[in-house]
Structures are given as structure tokens and as C-alpha cells.
Amino acid sequence: MINHLILQKNWQTQLSEAISSIDELLVILKLESLRSQIYVPTHFELRVPRAFVAKMQVGDTNDPLLRQVLPDQREQIAVTGYVADPLAENSQNPLTGLLHKYQSRVLLTVTGACAIHCRYCFRQHFDYQSNLPKASAQDGIIRYIHEHPEINEVILSGGDPLSVSNRRLFGWLERLEAIPQLTTIRLHTRLPVVIPERLDAELLERLASSRCQIVMVIHCNHANEIDDTTAQHLQRARAAGITLLNQTVLLRDINDDVETQVALSQRLFAAGVLPYYLHVLDKVAGGAHFDSSENEAIALYWTLLERLPGYLVPKLVRELPNRAFKVPVDIYKLR
């Protein structure tokens, strides 16, 4: 019943009705007994769309989707090496709203808003208020790209770029498409997984008509995140000519076993999405309890190579500060 009621609402309504009350979430999932154990953060509070909650198993304290969003007391433990800005992004921010870490690509933080607050998010401490490009800053960003002819791709990120309205998003697309050197526009987004209705007809038609190649990198960590409704929306996006890739974060006791990773890759492929990256966790403050060791990640990866065809095995990478690329994890250190 909950799925039927949710599907009657458009994505904007679903976004506005996302759950921010821990008590409400626990009641829906019949987990009220957990209340005394829950940490209530004053920063980066709970936020989760109802469509994503509907994919969780009622009564299961270890549900892999629930554990990604439910605040955990271990977030309050300071762990050496886990910091607020693990990728040193604040030092690679030449203009408000623009990050230039990679030679041929720039990233635009078009919004600080997300539909969901994942507890391991590497940007949970990022200063979005001082890094959101106002309308007056757009000219400077466009000029910067023009002045750097090596840039041929723009990545729309945030926050989540699909959390903004179509009107605002299309405004960015129009300005970027007018830059002759750009060949690709990439969107990194969690919305198609947590609110599949975000992939509405207006958005897909606009993306399909772009003169640039459109790449959409979704963020899915577990096969349970892709139900039939989600798969149908993703398949429509692929049919519209959008290249669909997925990036996953390796999370301890959530998706750090081979069966879970195999199921995820197979479910993604059935929905028209190719696995792209399997990220070793960024060492963000508050996220240490999600981390697996590099050796554990490598051992898992070798097993994935045995179990899956090459096109379904994501690249095992780590992102490090002040590096102009994703750093491949040395899988041969255990061989």
C-alpha cells in the first residue's frame, strides 16, 4: 500500500515529504525499540525519501538500506585519520561553485541539497553556503571553462544536481552546451534510486536532445535499492540515449561480501546500468565504522573477477587528496 500511495505523487512532492524524524522512521519500520540507542545529530540530520524507506524490510535492524541512513552513535567517535575534508576539496575551488581537480573535467556544485543523507557521505561537512554559484557567478564559471581549452567535460554534482528544478537544471545545460569545446555533460546523482520518478518525461526529453553526450552516474550500493519501479525508470533513461553508470561505496557489513556485490552488478545490468566504480570509503569524520581495510577490498575484488564477466566488474578505486585522477587500488599486492 505504501508503494502505491508514493507512486501517485510527483518527485517534487516526494522530495518535500522526505522523512526527517527518527521517531517517524522507526514507527514505519516497527523498530521503536531502537529509540533509546539512537544518536540524534544536530548537523547532517536524518533525511530519507519515503520511496527508499518502502524498499526496507520492516522489523529488520540490520536492513542494508536502513543502515546507510540511520544515525549511529559511532559517528561521534573521533578516529585518527578521518577528517572533515578528506579529499582536500576546499583547496581545489578556484571559483565559487567550481572544483577543478581533474585536467579535462570540472565539477559544478549546483546545489547543496540532497534527497537523502547517507551517513558515510564525504561531503557531509562541506561548506555549501559559501560554494553555491549564484546567478551572478555563472558568467565567471562559463568564462573559466572557455579559458581552459583542455576542459571537455563538466560534471554536475552537489549535493544532488537532480534535486533542483528542471527549469534551473535546463538553464545550466543551455549555457554549457553553448561552449564549443565541451563534448560531455555528466550528472552524479542518487535521485533515480531514491525517488525514481525524478526521471520524468520532461527531463529525459531534454537530456536526449542535448548536443553533448549525457552521462548519468547513479549511486547505488545494494541490489535491494533497485525495485521494479526503479528499474523501469532507469531503462527509460537508457532508451533515451543516456549513458548510465553506477558508483558504489564499499560499506562494512552492508555490501562488503561477494554475494551482495554480484547481486548488485547483475541487478544494475538488468536495469540498463553498467558498474563503473567500487570506491574504498573516503575517510570522512564520522564514517570510520563503515570502512573496510584495503586488503579486505582487494580479496573481495579478486573473487568478483572470478564470478562476473569483465563488463560487470567495477573499477576498485580510492580517491586521494591532490591527485588528478581516481587512484586504482593495487589488487596485485595480495598476489
Please check whether residue 197 is in contact with residue 149, taking contact to mean a CB–CB distance below 8 angstroms: no
Return per-residue pLDDT of the chain as tens, 335 residues: 345 556 568 999 999 999 999 999 999 999 999 988 888 888 889 999 999 999 999 999 999 999 999 999 998 889 888 888 776 656 567 788 898 888 899 999 999 899 999 999 977 776 655 666 777 788 999 999 999 999 999 999 988 999 999 999 999 999 999 999 999 999 999 999 999 999 999 999 999 999 999 999 999 999 999 999 999 999 999 999 999 999 999 999 999 999 999 999 999 999 999 999 999 998 888 899 999 999 999 999 999 999 999 999 999 999 887 776 789 999 998 76
Closest C-alpha to 313, from 270, 278, 281: 278
Question: Which stretches of the chain are DSSP H helices?
Answer: 2-7, 11-16, 22-28, 50-53, 66-69, 138-146, 166-177, 191-194, 201-208, 228-239, 258-270, 294-307
Give the bridge partners for 219, in sequence order.
247
Domain 89-334, CATH number (from 3.20.20.70, 3.40.640.10, 3.40.309.10, 3.30.1490.150): 3.20.20.70
Residue by residue, DSSP assigns 262-317 as: HHHHHHHHHTT-EEEEEEPPP-BTT-GGG---HHHHHHHHHHHHHHS-GGG--EEE
Closest C-alpha to 194, from 169, 160, 165, 164: 160
Write down the pLDDT at residue 1: 39
Q: Which helix (H) or strand (E) holds 218?
A: strand 213-219
Full-model pTM: 0.92
Write down the pLDDT at residue 282: 86
Residue-range domain boundaries for the chain: 2-76, 89-334
